Amino acid sequence: MKILSIVGARPNFMKIKPIYEEFKQRKIEQVLVHTGQHYDENMNRVFFEDLELPKPDVFLGIGSGTHGVQTGAMMSRIEEVLSEEKPDLTVVVGDVNSTLAGAISSIKMQIPVAHVEAGYRSFDMRMPEEINRILVDRISQFLFAPTEDAVTNLISEGADKKRIFFVGNVMVETLLSHFQKSKKSNILKILSLVPNSYGLMTIHRAENTADKKILIDLFNSLAKIDIKIIVPLHPRTKKVLEEAGYLKNIGKNIEIIEPLGYLDFLWLMSNSKFIMTDSGGIQEEALMLDVPCITLRENTERVVTLKNGANILIGMDPLKLSSAISEISKRKKKYPKPPLWDDKVSKRIADAIIGHPELYFL
Ligand code: UD1
C-alpha cells in the first residue's frame, strides 16, 4: 500500500506529523508532497525542524498568488506527481488552498481522498477556507471528523455515514507530544517576559486584513490597554501595516515580532494571560493549554471551543476588546476537554484507512 500526503501551509505541518509517524510505524510506503504555499523560513522550514518531519519527497515550489493562480498551479503539478507515484490513497489535512488542490487533483485521477479535519463549518462563505472545507468534504472518501458537531454537519449535508469517522483532533496529538519539548524554549527570556504578564495576538485572515482602517483601529485600541501584547506578525498583515506607514507608530505596549516556530509559539502561548486570534487552530490549542481565547471573528468553525467560556467571539470590533480582555482574564481555569482530543487520533485514522478497503471505491 502506498499513501501520498499533501501539505503546503503552516497549519498543515502539525496536522500531518502524527499521521506520517503512524503510517511509518506500520511500514506503509509514503510520499510526502509540499506544494510550497508557505515558503518563508519562519512559516515553513522551522516547522519541519521543530516537528522533526522528514524533508518532503517532492517540493513543488508554487508560492503565493491569487486563489485561482495558486490553486491552479498546485493542481497541475500535483497531477504530474500523482501520475508518477500512483498512490492507493491521498491524504489532505485542514482547509487551505493546498488541501483543495490536492483533493481535486486526486479524485479527478480516481485516487481516493482522505480528509483529516472534515466537517468543520463556519457557515461563512466569505472565508476562502470555508469554501475549501465544503468542496474537499464533498469529494473525499474518508471523512475524519475532529468533533461531534463536525459529524453532525457532514450528516446534514448528506455525506455517506459509513465514510464519516469521528477520530478526534490530530493537532491536539501533536501538541501533547511536543509540549514537554516546548518547555526548553528560550522565547520568554529572549523577549524578557514573565509568565502570565502579557497577552498574545495573531491576526492574518484575508477578511481581517483587507480593510487597513479596521486593522489599524484594532491596534489603536490595543495600545490603550495596560498590558504588554506580543504580536508575531504574519507576512500579509505586516505588508498591510507597513504600506500604511503604521508600524513605526504602533503603541508602546505592543511588541511586533517575526512569526515563531512551533515550539516557541506553544511555550509563549501557554505562558500568556490570554490570546487574541483569528486563527482556527490557535482557538483549539488555547483550549488545550487552558489559556482564555478572544477570537477576532464573527463566527467560528471550532464551536466546541466556545463551551464553558474558554473562547469568545468579538469580531474586529475595537470597542468590545477591552471589556473582553478584562472579562476573559478573570476566567483562567482548567477547561473541560472535548472527547477524543487525545494522543491516539492518528492511530484511529490509520486503523480506519487500513480496515476499510471497501471505501477506496469511488
Ligand atoms: C493560509 C491559509 C489560512 C491559514 C494560513 C496560516 C488559504 C486559503 N489560507 O493563509 O487558512 O490560516 O495559511 O498561515 O490557504 N506570504 C509570505 N511568505 C510565506 C507565505 C505567504 O510572504 O511563506 C505572504 C504572501 O504575500 C502571500 C500572503 O502571505 O500573498 C498570503 O499567503 P497565502 O498562502 O495565500 O495565504 P495565508 O494568508 O498565509
72 Cβ closer than 6 Å to some ligand 1 atom: no
End-to-end CA distance of the chain: 17
Q: How far is the CA of 222 from the centre of ligand 1 (A)?
A: 24
pTM above 0.95, yes or no: yes
Nearest to 241 by CA among 249, 232, 252: 249
Counting atoms of ligand 1 from 1, which one is nearest the CA of 204? 38
Q: How far is the CA of 131 from the centre of ligand 1 (A)?
A: 16
Q: How far is the CA of 348 from the centre of ligand 1 (A)?
A: 30
| Torsion sign over Cα 354, 355, 361, 362 | negative
96 Cβ closer than 6 Å to some ligand 1 atom: yes
| Torsion sign over Cα 315, 37, 150, 302 | negative
- Best probe residue, ligand 1, of 92, 96, 301 (max atoms within 8 Å of C-beta): 96
Counting atoms of ligand 1 from 1, which one is nearest the CA of 98? 15
How high is the pLDDT of residue 238?
96
**In 3-state terms, the chain is what percent helix, strand and coil (to 5)?**
50, 15, 35
| CA-nearest residue, atom 34 of ligand 1 | 37
How high is the pLDDT of residue 266?
98
Write the pLDDT tens digit of every residue in 60-110: 999 999 999 999 999 999 999 999 999 999 999 999 999 999 999 999 999
38 Cβ closer than 6 Å to some ligand 1 atom: yes
Report the chain's mean pLDDT, rounded to a whole number: 96
Say yes or no to pLDDT of 361 above 90: no
Task: Give me the CATH topology for the region 187-329.
Answer: Rossmann fold (3.40.50)
Q: How far is the CA of 66 from the centre of ligand 1 (A)?
A: 10
| CA-nearest residue, atom 11 of ligand 1 | 96
- Beta-bridge partner residues of 113: 90
How high is the pLDDT of residue 308?
84
Instruction: Using the structure block, give the residue that is written with the C-alpha cell 519527497.
Output: 57
Counting atoms of ligand 1 from 1, which one is nearest the CA of 279? 12
Alpha helices in the chain (DSSP H): 10-25, 45-50, 67-85, 97-108, 128-139, 148-156, 170-182, 187-190, 206-209, 212-223, 235-243, 262-270, 281-289, 318-329, 345-355
Write the pLDDT tens digit of every residue in 309-350: 899 999 999 889 988 998 887 766 899 999 999 999 999 999
Write the pLDDT tens digit of every residue in 44-59: 999 999 999 999 999 9
- Tell me the HSE value of 205 on the side-chain side, using a 13 A CA sphere: 24
How high is the pLDDT of residue 362?
84
Q: What is the mean pLDDT of residues 19-28?
A: 98
Q: What is the mean pLDDT of residues 114-123?
A: 98
What pLDDT band is residue 228 in, cutting at 50, 70 and 90? very high
Q: How far is the CA of 259 from the centre of ligand 1 (A)?
A: 12
Percent pLDDT > 90 in the chain is 94
Q: What is the CATH number of domain 2-169+341-360?
A: 3.40.50.2000
Instruction: Using the structure block, give the residue that is written with the C-alpha cell 510506503.
Output: 29
How high is the pLDDT of residue 332?
62
Under 8 Å CB-to-CB from 346, ≥6 apart: which residues?
18, 19, 21, 22, 170, 173
How high is the pLDDT of residue 354?
97
Counting atoms of ligand 1 from 1, which one is nearest the CA of 96? 15
Helices (H) and strands (E) in the chain, counts: 15, 13
129 Cβ closer than 6 Å to some ligand 1 atom: yes
Cell of 65: 498568488
Q: Are 116 and 19 in contact (CB under 8 A)?
A: yes
Cell of 93: 489535512
CB burial class (10 A; 0-12, 13-18, 19+) of residue 162? exposed
Q: Are 120 and 299 in contact (CB under 8 A)?
A: no
| CA-nearest residue, atom 15 of ligand 1 | 96
Q: Are 223 and 254 in contact (CB under 8 A)?
A: yes
Angstrom distance (rounded) from CA 259 to CA 242: 16
Under 8 Å CB-to-CB from 40, ≥6 apart: which residues?
235, 259
301 Cβ closer than 6 Å to some ligand 1 atom: no
Q: What is the mean pLDDT of residues 176-196?
A: 98
How high is the pLDDT of residue 155?
98
| CA-nearest residue, atom 16 of ligand 1 | 235
Angstrom distance (rounded) from CA 258 to CA 278: 17
45 Cβ closer than 6 Å to some ligand 1 atom: no
| CA-nearest residue, atom 32 of ligand 1 | 64
Residue intervals of the chain classified under CATH 3.40.50.2000 are 2-169+341-360, 187-329
Counting atoms of ligand 1 from 1, which one is nearest the CA of 44? 23
Rg (CA), the chain: 20
